[in-house]
């Protein structure tokens, strides 16, 4: 199955209550698959084509406020349009899942794959001090697995979660083992799980709930922000995910996520065959970023190469984690160009081994 | 008839009017003479009388009524500027049994949120939209609104609204009434006791429509903003009658079950 189709199938299977989206290449198959599947007849999941990305993300805000599982998907320019709404979701502490199948930018850019939205995804994207939980699948299987995981984390932290993928993974066809069906939450389950915050109608036993990001008293707004920062720290303590491949004896580490990790994996094979002791660290959560393992690796390796389809965005987080202990270089292609494994091999030689 | 003593007057059985239980004790932040307080009260009374407090979700806008959630004791969502109809759509679609209403001003509903407004109604979302039209931006300090009248002076049309510079006042309610998804479209005011009663009836009907799945109910309330208009409350009512009502005439614009597809000449495509 195609990565985008798997996102749709995984949404139905994980008990999602509503999908709201707007067509944009290269991810339109998500809504197309959902509309063809008609999940409202099967699980009761609502699928609605909105009039814009702006409307779609605000439909998410409405749906998320009721304590139900809602999601959307888009691609880079569409995510920019949604960024105001995503900031509101974070500010109102609402769980929702947003999929970004990245394409090249800036502006209308290109419809070819890219990883140039790393800053936007991991540093907030909209206005204000906030973060999303950011998951980066590198296979079609993970496109399936991470939908459920994204909902789990979004509800754990009552915070929006983003699946940051790209046009390659979205369009790529691979074998996939789909998750078993989970029923949608019942009203009683929602009351039990999310009753402390979900606006399901004012009950006599509780105060009214107001899902808002507005607080006019500065001291209170600061307190809200401090609570958010506590939440982000908790994410860093409890929910950092990464995959370390051949890092134990490595002298050099390639750091790469998503499709760049797939390309870099091949580069590692080539370099190992040449006798270069290189490992691959693949962040699965881009926020929270796997700082600790990178810092530990920095104590024993000679250098890092960050491989991304961008001008060098994640490399900044790698440098912060390495904190000057070792050399950190970047290699990337931009504008929709996909790097080849041999280019990565060459970059590692020229920038780290020979450099 | 004998005059009632004070003792009699305060007996519960002689109570003829009370504050709705849905209204909280929080003092309203609105200016004296503003229509918001009256409309809030009417919405609260309708919710109380219909017994739907536990099933009603209000969507507050950005504008003077952004903090409407302080005043009505129901669950609330507070929307980004203009997006209340999208929030309402998202909520209502996955919670079809709830009563969902938006409460928006002219800037929110007819300028920045025009797209969301038109499309929510066009889809026939089974929601109530309450539209406060006072022809000015109140909260930001009296700037021109999409509904500002020609020649009307505001802080961003200091020489009066000019067609060449600013375009025409937008009769969005008339546009809404054209959409097949709209079930009930009406224009009301709350400047006299008679109008208050009429407006309450309209709001009640709009909320009742929500449960019938017949499309969107849209209630415009032509309102005063004496602070923005820079005249006193009494003169504001007079100014509204003389200037607003001729351009925004009161009354029902549409009252029907959802119009059939045939009426809109929707043809089935040949395969």
Distance between CA atoms of residues A44 and A17, nearest Å: 7
Give pTM, 2 decimals.
0.95
Write down which residue in A171, A205, A229 finishes a domain.
A171
A232 found inside a domain: no
Please report which confidence band the pLDDT of residue B35 belongs to, taking 50, 70 and 90 as the band edges.
Answer: very high
Write down which residue in A108, A139, A171 finishes a domain.
A171
Cβ of A65 under 8 Å from any chain B Cβ? yes
Q: Do B78 and A17 touch (CB under 8 A)?
A: no
3-state secondary structure of A151: helix
Q: Do A208 and B69 touch (CB under 8 A)?
A: yes
Distance, in angstroms, between B220 CA and closest chain A CA? 22
Helix axes A53-64, B114-122, angle to 10 degrees: 70
Q: Do B90 and A54 touch (CB under 8 A)?
A: no
- Residue B97 CB contacts under 8 Å (≥ 6 apart), including other chains: B55
Q: Are residues A17 and A125 in the same domain?
A: yes
> Which pLDDT value is given to residue B4?
80
Which residues on A lie below 8 Å from B76 (Cβ)? Answer: 199, 208-212
Q: Do A46 and B94 touch (CB under 8 A)?
A: yes
Tell me what percent of the residues of chain B surpass a pLDDT of 90. Answer: 87
Q: Are residues A32 and A164 in the same domain?
A: yes
> Which pLDDT value is given to residue B260?
54
User: How much is the mean pLDDT over chain B?
Assistant: 94
Instruction: Give me the interface pTM, i.e. the ipTM.
Output: 0.96
Q: Do A85 and B69 touch (CB under 8 A)?
A: no
> Which pLDDT value is given to residue B8?
86
Count the alpha carbons within 13 Å of A292 in the hemisphere toward its beta carbon.
Answer: 9
State the DSSP H helix or E strand holding residue A273, giving kind and residue range, or none if neither: helix A258-273
Tell me what percent of the residues of chain B surpass a pLDDT of 70. Answer: 94
Instruction: Give tens-digit pLDDT for B100-128.
Output: 999 999 999 999 999 999 999 999 999 99
Which residues on A lie below 8 Å from B57 (Cβ)? Answer: 65-66, 199, 201
Q: Are residues A150 and A273 in the same domain?
A: no
Closest CA to B190 of B201, B174, B182, B179: B201
Please tell me which residue of chain B has the smallest CA distance to A203: B54
Residue B75 contacts residue A201 (beta carbons within 8 Å): yes
Which residues on A lie below 8 Å from B77 (Cβ)? Answer: 61-62, 65, 199, 210-212
Q: Are residues A156 and A261 in the same domain?
A: no
Give the CATH number for residue A17. 3.40.50.970
Q: Are residues A268 and A163 in the same domain?
A: no
A283 found inside a domain: yes
A144 found inside a domain: yes
Distance, in angstroms, between A234 CA and closest chain B CA? 27
Domains defined for chain B, CATH in brackets: 20-257 (3.40.50.970)
Residue B178 contacts residue B164 (beta carbons within 8 Å): no
Distance between CA atoms of residues B201 and B213, nearest Å: 19
Strands (E), chain A: 18-21, 46-49, 70-74, 97-102, 133-135, 161-166, 210-211, 242-245, 252-256, 278-283, 285-287, 303-307, 327-331
Q: Do A201 and B75 touch (CB under 8 A)?
A: yes
- Residue A326 to residues A244, A281, B207, Cα–Cα distance (Å): 19, 16, 66
> Which pLDDT value is given to residue A339?
96
Q: pLDDT tens digits for chain A (355 residues)?
A: 999 999 999 999 999 999 999 999 999 999 999 999 999 999 999 999 999 999 999 999 999 999 999 999 999 999 999 999 999 999 999 999 999 999 999 999 999 999 999 999 999 999 999 999 999 999 999 999 999 999 999 999 999 999 999 999 999 999 999 999 999 999 999 999 999 999 999 999 999 999 999 999 999 999 999 999 999 999 999 999 999 999 999 999 999 999 999 999 999 999 999 999 999 999 999 999 999 999 999 999 999 999 999 999 999 999 999 999 999 999 999 999 999 999 999 999 999 998 6
Distance between CA atoms of residues A265 and B241, nearest Å: 74
- What does the block give as tokens for B219? 């209630």
Q: Are residues A339 and A247 in the same domain?
A: yes
Instruction: Give tens-digit pLDDT for A57-99.
Output: 999 999 999 999 999 999 999 999 999 999 999 999 999 999 9
Count the alpha carbons within 13 Å of A109 in the hemisphere toward its beta carbon.
Answer: 27
Distance, in angstroms, between B157 CA and closest chain A CA? 29
Q: Are residues A142 and A256 in the same domain?
A: no
How far does chain B reach from its first CA to its final CA, in angstroms?
A: 78
3-state secondary structure of A256: strand
Dihedrals phi, psi of A215, to nearest 5 degrees? -150, 115
A95 found inside a domain: yes
> Which pLDDT value is given to residue A94?
98
Cβ of A314 under 8 Å from any chain B Cβ? no
Q: Are residues A138 and A262 in the same domain?
A: no
Cβ of B119 under 8 Å from any chain A Cβ? yes
Residue in B53, B66, B119 closest to A214 by CB = B66
> Which pLDDT value is given to residue A26?
97
Please report which confidence band the pLDDT of residue B6 belongs to, taking 50, 70 and 90 as the band edges.
Answer: confident
Distance between CA atoms of residues B263 and B258, nearest Å: 11
A141 found inside a domain: yes
Q: Are residues A23 and A163 in the same domain?
A: yes
- What does the block give as tokens for B65? 């009524």
> Which pLDDT value is given to residue B258?
54
Q: Do B77 and A212 touch (CB under 8 A)?
A: yes
**Count of A-B CB contacts under 8 Å:** 124
Q: Do A62 and B91 touch (CB under 8 A)?
A: yes
Please tell me which residue of chain A has the smallest CA distance to B77: A211
Residue B146 contacts residue B156 (beta carbons within 8 Å): no
Cβ under 8 Å to B: A residues 160-219: 199-204, 208-214
> Which pLDDT value is given to residue B7?
87
pLDDT (average), residues B214-233: 96
> Which pLDDT value is given to residue B236?
97
A323 found inside a domain: yes
Distance between CA atoms of residues A16 and A43, nearest Å: 9
> Which pLDDT value is given to residue B268?
61
Write down which residue in A144, A171, A198 finishes a domain.
A171
Handedness of CA A109, A112, A116, A118 (dihedral sign): positive
Closest CA to B108 of B76, B146, B162: B146
Instruction: Give tens-digit pLDDT for B157-184.
Output: 999 999 999 999 999 999 999 999 999 9
| Better-scored residue on pLDDT, B269 or B223 | B223
Which residues on A lie below 8 Å from B119 (Cβ)? Answer: 50-51, 55
Please tell me which residue of chain A has the smallest CA distance to B88: A62
Instruction: Give tens-digit pLDDT for B135-146.
Output: 999 999 999 999
Q: DSSP code of A198?
A: -
A234 found inside a domain: no
Count the alpha carbons within 13 Å of A91 in the hemisphere toward its beta carbon.
Answer: 21
Cβ of B6 under 8 Å from any chain A Cβ? no
Give the CATH number for residue A283. 3.40.50.920
State the DSSP H helix or E strand holding residue A261, giving kind and residue range, or none if neither: helix A258-273
Name the domain count of chain A: 2
DSSP string over chain B: -PPPPHHHHTSGGG------TTB-SSPP-SPTT-SHHHHHHHHHHHHHHHT-GGGEEEEE-SSGGGGGGGTB-SEEEEPSTT-HHHHHHHHHHH-TTSEEEEEEEHHIIIIITHHHHHHHHHTT-S-EEEEEE-SEETTTTSEE-TTPPTT--BTTBTT---HHHH-PPP-HHHHHHTSTTEEEEEEEE-SSHHHHHHHHHHHHHHHHHHTTT--EEEEEEE---HHHHTS-HHHHHHHIIIIIHHHS--EEEEE-SPPPTGGGTPPPPP-
Please report which confidence band the pLDDT of residue B12 belongs to, taking 50, 70 and 90 as the band edges.
Answer: confident
Q: Are residues A147 and A48 in the same domain?
A: yes
Dihedrals phi, psi of B59, to nearest 5 degrees? -115, 110
Dihedrals phi, psi of B126, to nearest 5 degrees? -85, 65
A197 found inside a domain: no
Distance between CA atoms of residues B230 and B59, nearest Å: 29
> Which pLDDT value is given to residue B5?
87
Boundaries of domain holding A164:
3-171
Residue in B53, B57, B115 closest to A199 by CB = B57
- What does the block give as tokens for B223? 């309102």
Distance between CA atoms of residues A159 and B128, nearest Å: 29
């Amino acid at each position: 199955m195609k990565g985008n189709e798997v996102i749709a199938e995984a949404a139905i299977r994980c008990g999602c209550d509503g999908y709201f989206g707007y067509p944009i290449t290269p991810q339109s198959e998500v809504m197309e698959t959902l509309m063809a599947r008609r999940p409202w007849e099967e699980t009761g999941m609502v699928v609605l084509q909105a009039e814009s990305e702006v409307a779609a993300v605000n439909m998410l805000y409405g749906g998320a406020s009721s304590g139900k599982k809602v999601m959307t998907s888009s691609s880079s320019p569409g995510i920019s349009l949604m960024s105001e709404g995503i900031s509101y979701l974070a500010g109102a502490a609402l769980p929702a899942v947003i999929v970004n199948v990245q394409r090249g930018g800036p502006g209308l850019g290109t419809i070819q794959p890219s990883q140039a939205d790393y800053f936007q995804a991991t540093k907030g994207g909209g206005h204000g001090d906030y973060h999303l939980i950011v998951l980066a699948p590198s296979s079609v299987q993970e496109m399936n697995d991470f939908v459920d995981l994204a909902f789990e984390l979004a509800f754990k932290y009552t915070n929006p979660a983003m699946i940051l993928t790209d046009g390659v993974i979205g369009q790529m066809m691979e074998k996939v083992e789909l998750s078993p069906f989970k029923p949608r939450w019942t009203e009683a389950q929602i009351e039990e799980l999310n009753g402390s915050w979900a606006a399901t109608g004012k009950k006599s036993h509780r105060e009214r709930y107001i899902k808002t990001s507005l607080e006019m008293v500065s001291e209170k707004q600061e307190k809200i922000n401090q609570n958010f920062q506590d939440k982000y720290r908790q994410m860093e303590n409890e929910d950092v995910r990464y995959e370390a491949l051949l890092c134990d004896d490595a002298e050099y580490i390639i750091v790469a996520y998503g499709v760049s990790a797939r390309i870099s994996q091949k580069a590692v094979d080539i370099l190992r065959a040449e006798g270069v002791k290189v490992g691959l660290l693949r962040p699965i959560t881009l926020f929270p970023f796997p700082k600790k393992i990178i810092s530990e690796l920095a104590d024993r390796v000679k250098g890092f190469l960050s491989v991304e389809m961008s001008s060098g965005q994640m490399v900044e987080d790698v440098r912060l984690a390495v904190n000057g202990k070792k050399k950190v270089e970047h290699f990337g292609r931009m504008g929709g160009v996909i790097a080849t494994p041999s280019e990565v091999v060459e970059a590692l030689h020229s920038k780290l081994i020979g450099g | 008839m004998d005059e009632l003593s004070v003792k009699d007057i305060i007996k519960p059985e002689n109570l003829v009017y009370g504050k709705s239980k849905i209204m909280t004790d929080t003092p309203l932040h609105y200016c004296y003479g503003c229509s918001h307080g009256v409309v809030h009260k009417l919405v609260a009374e309708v919710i109380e009388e219909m017994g739907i407090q536990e099933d009603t979700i209000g969507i507050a806008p950005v504008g003077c009524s952004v903090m409407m959630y302080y005043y009505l004791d129901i669950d609330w969502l507070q929307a980004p500027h203009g997006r209340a109809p999208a929030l309402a759509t998202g909520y209502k679609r996955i919670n079809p049994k709830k009563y969902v209403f938006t409460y928006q001003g002219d800037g929110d509903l007819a300028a920045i949120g025009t797209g969301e407004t038109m499309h929510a109604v066009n889809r026939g979302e089974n929601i109530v939209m309450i539209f406060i039209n006072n022809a000015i931006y109140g909260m930001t300090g009296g700037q021109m609104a999409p509904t500002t009248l020609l020649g009307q002076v505001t802080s961003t049309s200091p020489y009066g609204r000019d067609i060449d510079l600013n375009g025409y006042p937008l009769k969005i309610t008339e546009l809404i009434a054209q959409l097949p998804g709209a079930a009930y479209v009406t224009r009301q005011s709350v400047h006299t006791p008679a109008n208050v009663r009429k407006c309450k009836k309209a709001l009640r009907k709009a909320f009742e429509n929500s449960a019938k799945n017949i499309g969107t109910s849209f209630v415009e309330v032509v309102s005063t903003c004496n602070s923005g208009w820079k005249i006193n409350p009494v003169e504001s009512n007079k100014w509204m009658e003389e200037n607003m009502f001729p351009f925004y005439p009161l009354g029902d614009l549409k009252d029907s079950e959802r119009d059939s597809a045939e009426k809109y000449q929707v043809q089935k495509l040949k395969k």
